[in-house]
Copies of this chain bind each other. A is one copy, B any other.
């Protein structure tokens, strides 16, 4: 990652490298369990040197989460704005989510594991805001689905939203990029369960 063979833009700045290293540590050991000395060591420098690049350990998670969320929500908005039918949009939202787990597993893990704690500080108030946005996206998708007749009418939309959100994001705990199942495959299987259930259909 650090070197580009040809002369083309080697855009990964030192700052971004360090953030990527920090993100990996935060994701695997947890934010609180990761010391600035851990991050520095993984980067091959000493802890004091980190403060040339960042104000504090807190600033590091902050930047990691902000960047990640901006990208993710950009993609959700694109889906909402498209003119696909309700069921397709729902499927796309699920696919984008699993793709995000595939591409940014560390960032997703940090968000999953630390958002609750961090959200308590004013600095991280945007996390709660993003949570509300996310809920709005899924609820809209589900309600549109019901209205269009694609989803069952008696659906408890609120509960369904929670189940979807939980299952999709918690998958970061076991999904391994480059593993046996691709993110596309996982999304497809998941959608089958979600849409059609696991029970055998009785022939009528």
Q: A-side interface residues toward B, CB under 8 Å?
A: 29-30, 32-33, 87, 113, 116-117, 145, 149-153, 155-156, 159-160, 162-163, 166-167, 170-171, 173-174, 181, 186, 189-190, 193-201, 204
User: How many copies are assembled?
Assistant: 2
Contacts of A194 in B (CB 8 A): 193, 197-198
Whether A152 lies near B200 (C-beta < 8 A) is: yes
Alpha-carbon separation in the docked complex, A162 to B170 (Å):
9
Whether A153 lies near B193 (C-beta < 8 A) is: no
Whether B151 lies near A162 (C-beta < 8 A) is: no
Contacts of A204 in B (CB 8 A): 204
Whether A198 lies near B195 (C-beta < 8 A) is: yes
Whether B32 lies near A200 (C-beta < 8 A) is: no
Whether A117 lies near B33 (C-beta < 8 A) is: yes
Known: A152-B200, A153-B200, A162-B174. 18 other contacts (CB 8 A): A30-B32, A30-B117, A32-B32, A32-B33, A145-B198, A149-B200, A151-B200, A152-B199, A159-B181, A159-B186, A159-B190, A163-B193, A166-B173, A170-B170, A194-B198, A195-B198, A196-B197, A197-B197
